[in-house]
Amino acid sequence: MTSRRRFFQGVGAAAAAASLAQVSQVALAALPEPVLQDKPDTMPPLVPATGREYNPVVTLNGWTLPWRMNGGVKEFHLVAEPVVREMALGFKAHLWGYNGQSPGPTIEVVEGDRVRIFVTNKLPEHTSVHWHGQRIPNGMDGVSGLTQPAIGPGKTFVYEFVARRPGTFMYHPHADEMTQMAMGMMGLWVTHPRAKHALIDEVQRDFCFLLNAYDIDPGSATPKIMTMLDFNLWSWNSRIFPGIDSLNVRLGDKVRIRIGNLTMTNHPIHLHGHEFTVTGTDGGPTPKSARWPEVTTDIAVGQMRQIEFVADEEGDWAFHCHKSHHTMNAMGHDVPTMIGVEHRGVARQITQLIPDYMVMSERGMADMTEMQMPLPDNTIPMMTGEGPFGSVEMGGMFSVLKVRRGQSPGDYRDPGWYQHAAGAVAFEWTGSLPDPARFAAQGGQSMPIRQKAMRETEVRVRKPTGHSGH
C-alpha cells in the first residue's frame, strides 16, 4: 500500500484516479489505460512499485509515465494529442504533446527491461515515435516511411524492444517532424543501470528536462510552425521563466541534471557558484579520463548532456542558458538600439501626432520591467520575476538552484528565498572613494590603414538593422 501511495503521489490525484481505473481493468483491457497529467507542476519522483528497483529522476515541470507489468514486460501507453500547456502563469499555449502535456511524460526503465509501448494517435495527421539514441531493432526506430508505415489518425501502433544500454534518451516524432516538433511533441527517456556501474555514480537528486523553443506571437496561442531560427520563446520543458520551477537540493547532495536539446540552436547552459563535470552524453557515460570541471556546457541540437556536482555552497544560484536573448520572453525585437540617444524632445513632437508613442530604452532595457505597458491577452512580460531584492529581469531559459542545509532528503519543495547572513550581501557604499584606475592608452594596430587620414569624429549615426540570426 505504501508503494502504491507513493506511486499515486507521483502522478497527482487526477491521474491517480485514472490509474486506479487501470488497475481494475488490467485483466480485461488489451491496452493499458492511458494515464494523463493536466498540471504543469514538478511531480515528485515516481518510485517504482513493480519491476526492478531504481533511483527515480525528477522531471522539471513534468512527470514520469506509470506502467503496468504484463508477463514480465513493462507496458506503457503514449497518446499523441493536442494539449494546452501553461508555459507560465496566465500564458497558455496550444501545443501537441503526449498524455495531456508537452513535453510528454518521462519514460523510466531499467537496463535489460523488455518494454512495450502502445502509441495511440489522436492528432489530426499521422505520426510516429523515434526513440532517439537507443540501441533497438531497426524496425522499432520509428522513422515513418523508412522503418515503418506512419501511424494514421485514430490508430494505435506497438513498439517493443529491450532497453539495452543505460543512459538518457529522447523520444520525438519522425513524421512531419518540422510541424510536430515545433508544436511540442517530445519527451525524455531514462534507462537506469541494472547494477552498480563503474561510470554511473549514485546521486541524491537526479533532475531532467528538455530544451525546447516556440514562436508564438503575443496575444495568440499556437506556435508558428514555419519559423526556422527566430523563435521568441525559449523554454525548459515547455515552460518559461518565471514559470520554471527551482531545483531544490540539500547542502552536500550529489546532484545530476540531464538536459536534452530539441530546439534548432545550441544552448550554453551555465550554473552559478559550483563547478560540474559532464558525466554522460547521448552516447552513454563519459569515461572518467575525459571529464573536466566546467561552469558552462554547450548543448548542441539533438544532443544530451548529463552534468554532476556536489551542491556544497548554500544559496540561491542562477542556472540558465548563457545566450542572453534566451533569457527573455516574447518581445518585438525589430527595435533599434537607442542607448545614449536623447530622444525625449523628439518624442514630445511625435506624441502630438501619435498619442501612444513612448520613449524606449535610451538608458538600456531594464525600464521594461517597470513599464506599465498594456500587454495583449495570453502573454507575459519579456523580462520579469520578482526576487527578494527586486526584479531579476529574466525570462525564457532561467531557473534557480536552491541549496539549503535544512532541506530534508527526498524533499523537493521550494524552501523560499535564501536567508543571507548579516553583512554577506553586496551593499551600497556611501563613504569616500579612491580614484578609480582608468586605462588611458588608445591602443595600437597591427597594420597600417591604406587610406587618407580623416578628421577625428565621434560616431552618432544609427544604422537600421534586421534581426536575423540571434
Residue placing its CB nearer to Cu ion in the complex, 94 or 323:
323
Strand ranges, E, within 272-383? 276-281, 284-285, 293-294, 296-299, 304-310, 315-321
Binding mask 155-194 for Cu ion (x = CB under 5 A): ----------------------------------------
User: Is the N-terminal amide bond of 223 cis, ω within 30° of 0?
Assistant: no
Residue placing its CB nearer to Cu ion in the complex, 109 or 321:
321
Query: Applying CB under 5 A, does 404 fall inside the site for Cu ion?
Result: no
Residue placing its CB nearer to Cu ion in the complex, 192 or 326:
326
Q: How far is the CB of 243 from Cu ion (least distance, A)?
A: 16
Distance CA 395, CA 282 (A): 28
Residue placing its CB nearer to Cu ion in the complex, 172 or 267:
267
Q: How far is the CB of 270 from Cu ion (least distance, A)?
A: 10
- Cβ atoms of 76 and 46 closer than 8 Å: no
Residue placing its CB nearer to Cu ion in the complex, 311 or 328:
328
Q: How far is the CB of 305 from Cu ion (least distance, A)?
A: 13
Binding mask 269-298 for Cu ion (x = CB under 5 A): ------------------------------
Within 13 Å of residue 6, how many CA atoms lie on the same side as its CB?
A: 10
Task: Return the bridge partners of 207, or none.
Answer: 58, 257
Residues recorded for the chain? 470
Query: Applying CB under 5 A, does 321 fall inside the site for Cu ion?
Result: yes
For residue 309, the SS3 value is strand
Residue placing its CB nearer to Cu ion in the complex, 20 or 300:
300
Query: Applying CB under 5 A, does 320 fall inside the site for Cu ion?
Result: no
CB proximity list for 122: less than 8 A, separation 6 or greater: 79, 80, 81, 82, 153, 154
Query: Applying CB under 5 A, does 326 fall inside the site for Cu ion?
Result: yes
- Using CB under 5 A, which of the segments 33-41, 156-164, 315-323, 365-373 binds Cu ion? 315-323
- Using CB under 5 A, which of the segments 173-181, 183-191, 202-210, 321-329 binds Cu ion? 321-329
- Using CB under 5 A, which of the segments 132-140, 264-272, 330-338, 437-445 binds Cu ion? 264-272
Residue whose C-alpha cell is 524632445: 345
Distance CA 10, CA 6 (A): 6
Q: Calculate the dihedral angle through the C-alpha atoms of 260, 132, 294, 395, rounding to the nearest 10 degrees.
A: -10
- Using CB under 5 A, which of the segments 160-168, 292-300, 319-327, 350-358 binds Cu ion? 319-327
Q: What values do phi and psi take at 194, rounded to 5?
A: -70, -35
CB proximity list for 227: less than 8 A, separation 6 or greater: 182, 215
| Out of 179, 323, 341, 359, the residue judged to bind Cu ion by CB under 5 A | 323
- Using CB under 5 A, which of the segments 5-13, 299-307, 326-334, 413-421 binds Cu ion? 326-334
Residues in touch with Cu ion (CB under 5 A): 267, 321, 323, 326
